[in-house]
Amino acid sequence: MTTVVIIVLVLIAARLGTELWLSRLNRRHVVAHAGAVPEAFRGMVDSATYNKSVNYTLAKNRLGDVEEIYNTFLLLALLFSGVLAIAFHSVIRHHGTSAWAMAGFLFGVGLVMSLFGVPFDWYSQFRLEDRFGFNTTTLKTWWLDRLKGLLLAVVLGYPLLVLVLKIVEWAGDAWWFWAWAAMMAFQLVMAVFAPVVIMPLFNKFTPLAEGPLRERLLKLAARTNFTAQSIQVMDGSKRSRHSNAFFTGFGRFRKIVLFDTLIEQLNEPELEAVLAHEIGHYKKKHIPKLLLFSAASSLAAFYLLSFLARQEWFYRTFGFEPGNIAPALLLFGLLAGVMTFWLSPFIHWWSRRYEYQADAFAAEVMREPGPLIGALRKLNEKNLSNLTPHPLYSGFYYSHPTLLEREVALKRG
């Protein structure tokens, strides 16, 4: 057990140390380019906006460092203080070991952990985002969002936990496969119904008004053979001045969604190019490929969990007695991020590759890269994006290429 503790501590320390090193590397790289606007971005962004984006990047970077240190010490406390084992035995003593009781234990731990993150969420929204002019939400809306999220977790997450634990009881040694199948089925159902049932709980969706923009986007959908139920506008400005566009749902439930902030920031050709990019992801079959990768990764994770759940050392290292799957589920969830962090560069490389492909599709559909380049420049400017991230930092954390990388690829064709 001592050896396992040392290994776990080394892995946790290695992740934190790497995160802080990457953060410092990125800060120094950004500061080195501060002051005058870099030549590549002159004419695109003025000096005041560029310096504001530098300060925004540095502020988020510093807050991220504090949060990572905080979360690491919280993880260590949960793993090695014995508090989880004490809580687990208390639940057993008062409620037994039924699937409902064990799911309650797991749900309760998750709820408590989320509460520890509330101060950082609040500070990020009402201090950092507010300072740089992005926050538009009220404290009432912010708390209502969290209450709705909690209720959805109770209604959907808790029964799913019960189902997984029931499958463990019913399926014997093959439980990991059937639990994975149940999880995949749940995710597919949610992908269909979330846009219809859940998303409207948080935001208002209205059909895009009749006019030139709607006609332009419908023509784009027609010439790319992309069918959607509707084009809708989401009131993103209710919470933030950040902007986005996406399509969601499957089949007859698919809909194109534009943030109202995006419509304010871009002209019609640029909006068409952004939508063409999103359609590119669909036409290049990126979504099913990512779903298959997610399914394969989840299957491997469930198999690894089933292996660890049979190991006495895995339980005893953290103060639990072997024999119940719930502690193994909890410990696996707590430790998974320590390992998956090292896979981030590969996953983000893959994601960036798809972004390049979607950009190329959009440029081809638009018959020129200009509108997409214009949209990307405005989005980076309006969102105060980091225009000069360190390559190693972006490799670990950026799912999209940088603005300069995308421009070069688009102009190269």
Q: Please report the pLDDT score of residue 362 as a whole number.
A: 95
Mean pLDDT value of segment 330-337: 95
pLDDT band of 252, cuts 50, 70, 90? low
- Looking at domain 203-265, its CATH class is alpha beta
Mean pLDDT value of segment 279-294: 92
Mean pLDDT value of segment 273-290: 92
Q: Please report the pLDDT score of residue 354 as a whole number.
A: 96
Kindly provide the b/e burial profile for residues 214-237, where b requires at least 16 CB atoms within 10 angstroms of the residue's own CB: eeebeebbeebebebeebbbbebb
When the pLDDT of each residue in the chain is averaged and rounded to a whole number, the result is 92
Place of tokens 């003025």: 46
Q: Please report the pLDDT score of residue 227 as a whole number.
A: 79
Phi, psi of 38 (to 5 degrees): -55, 150
Q: Please report the pLDDT score of residue 195 as a whole number.
A: 83
Q: Please report the pLDDT score of residue 197 as a whole number.
A: 87
Contacts of 122 (CB under 8 A, 6+ apart): 142
Contacts of 222 (CB under 8 A, 6+ apart): none
The continuous run of DSSP H or E covering 206 comes out as strand 205-207
Check: CB of residue 314 under 8 Å from CB of residue 291. Answer: no
Q: Please report the pLDDT score of residue 403 as a whole number.
A: 93
pLDDT band of 42, cuts 50, 70, 90? confident
pLDDT tens, position by position, 111-130: 999 999 999 999 999 999 99
pLDDT band of 253, cuts 50, 70, 90? low
* DSSP code, position 324: -
pLDDT band of 43, cuts 50, 70, 90? confident
Q: Please report the pLDDT score of residue 164 as a whole number.
A: 96
Check: CB of residue 17 under 8 Å from CB of residue 72. Answer: no
Residue 268: closest CA among 407, 411, 371, 367:
371
Q: Please report the pLDDT score of residue 1 as a whole number.
A: 60
Query: Is the pLDDT at 194 greater than 70, yes or no?
Result: yes
Check: CB of residue 175 under 8 Å from CB of residue 306. Answer: yes
Higher-confidence residue of 202 and 255: namely 202
Q: Please report the pLDDT score of residue 192 as a whole number.
A: 81
pLDDT band of 342, cuts 50, 70, 90? very high
Query: Is the pLDDT at 155 greater than 70, yes or no?
Result: yes
Mean pLDDT value of segment 88-97: 95
C-alpha–C-alpha distance, residues 33 and 388, integer Å? 7
Q: Please report the pLDDT score of residue 300 as a whole number.
A: 96
Check: CB of residue 235 under 8 Å from CB of residue 204. Answer: yes
Check: CB of residue 247 under 8 Å from CB of residue 282. Answer: yes
Q: Please report the pLDDT score of residue 402 as a whole number.
A: 93
Query: Is the pLDDT at 369 greater than 90, yes or no?
Result: yes
Q: What residue ranges do the domains of the chain occupy? A: 2-199+288-346, 203-265
Residue 258: closest CA among 239, 227, 237, 287:
237
Burial of 288 (0-12, 13-18, 19+ CB in 10 A): exposed
C-alpha–C-alpha distance, residues 102 and 114, integer Å? 19
* DSSP code, position 38: P
Q: What share of the chain in percent tops pLDDT 90?
A: 81
Mean pLDDT value of segment 259-269: 92
Instruction: Extract long-range pairs of 140-147: CB within 8 Å, 24+ residues apart.
Output: 141/238, 141/239, 145/202, 146/118
Q: Active-site residue numbers?
A: 278, 359
pTM of the predicted model as reported, rounded to 2 decimal places = 0.90
- The neighbour count for residue 95, using CB atoms within 10 Å, is 13
Q: Which of 119-133, 166-180, 183-197 has the lowest mean pLDDT?
A: 183-197
Q: Please report the pLDDT score of residue 243 as a whole number.
A: 85
C-alpha–C-alpha distance, residues 262 and 274, integer Å? 10
Mean pLDDT value of segment 339-350: 94
- The neighbour count for residue 14, using CB atoms within 10 Å, is 13
C-alpha–C-alpha distance, residues 12 and 79, integer Å? 11
Residue 164: closest CA among 332, 370, 334:
332
